Structure formats: structure tokens, C-alpha cells
Amino acid sequence: MASGIAEQLKSAAEAGHLVRLHARSEPGHTCGYVRTVGAEFVLLSVVSDGIWFDGFNCLRIDDLEALELDPHAAFLDAVLKARAEATPPSPIVDLDSVEGLLTSASGQLPLVTIHAGADVCYIGRVLSIEGGIVWMREIDADAVWDADPTPHRLIDITRIDFGGDYEDALHLVARAPTEPVERRGVPLRLVTSED
């Protein structure tokens, strides 16, 4: 099934069609343009309900159950054009693994959002990835940083978002954390491919 969806995603990316993606882990659909397809994730340039570009979603290909051409694509494309909404440049992210995606996205953007099923998401900065766990310093809905890092199992992550209006709003208002975050007495750092 995943290979069939992957081929559809690649075709949609090549054709530049506006699509709806339906995931098993979430109700409804996500609307946007398929930009890049990796081994594990697809990068989607999101078109919001307000009809503007609103960051990027990276969905697990194995979690997708259907792809369809958006039935209102002509209207949505016309609105984007009338608003002079230029297609945002795609960030260069590693879509072949959740570890690679988190590392590459957080290396370019101040905040990422991880989803662990329907209605469960966490926003923050990736601090480290080790032993199947991503450690994040999370930020709440009032743009206040949590005092302690939080672990999340990589296997539970179904979607990773970044560059959207909400992440941008939180980043604009949040103050930078002033103290280094430590776990087990060791300062945390982002694990990169050179480590």
C-alpha cells in the first residue's frame, strides 16, 4: 500500500497538483502541494483554510491511506494567485528517517511541532536524539518555555510540522531560554550526523 501511495505522491509532486492527504492517525485531510518524497516522509507545502501558504507538514508515508486531487483546486489556485502568494521555497530536510528529519528541520528553524496521533502535538526545540527518544524543550500556548526537557518516542511521531504561522507567532513572542537545560547533569545538544 505504501509503495502505491509513494508513487502517487511522486506523480503529484511532478505535476504540481494541489492534493488532499488522508492519514490514518488523524481525522479529516491536509491540503497542499507535494514538494519532496523521501523513504519515510513526504514534505507538503500546506495551504491553510484561509487560503494562504502556511508552512510545511511532513507526514509518514506508511500512515497515509489516501491521496486525492483537491476538488476545489481551480478556486484555491486562483485565490493564491490573486493574493500573490508565491510558493515558498522548500527547506532541505532529510525525509528518509524521523531522526534525520528532526535533526535537519531543527537545524534550520527555531521551532518544530511533532504529532503523536490525532489531537496530540508538542511544539519546541529539539535538544537531542538518543535511543529512540527525542528530547525537546517545549513551549506552551502562551509562548512560555517549559523548565525541563521532555522525552518523546520517535516511533510514536506521525507528523512533523515547521515554518507555519503558529510556530512563527510563538517564536516572535517567546523569550530565548536563559539557562542551559540539563538532563542527568549533562548539557543537552542537538545530535548531528557528524557526531
Question: What does DSSP say about strands 182-183 and 121-130: parallel, antiparallel, or unpaired?
Answer: unpaired
Q: Using CA atoms, how far apart are residues 127 and 172, in angstroms rounded to an integer?
A: 20
Q: Using CA atoms, how far apart are residues 190 and 195, in angstroms rounded to an integer?
A: 10
Structurally, the chain folds into a number of domains equal to 2
- Which residue bears the cell 527518544? 133
pLDDT in tens, 153-166: 999 999 999 999 99
Q: Are residues 18 and 76 in the same domain?
A: yes
Hey, what's the cell of 111?
521551532
Q: Are residues 25 and 53 in the same domain?
A: yes
Region 126-148: what's the mean pLDDT?
94
What per-residue confidence (pLDDT) applies to 58? 97
Q: Is residue 106 pLDDT above 80, yes or no?
A: yes
Q: Is residue 97 pLDDT above 90, yes or no?
A: yes
User: Which residue range forms the structural domain that includes residue 75?
Assistant: 2-82
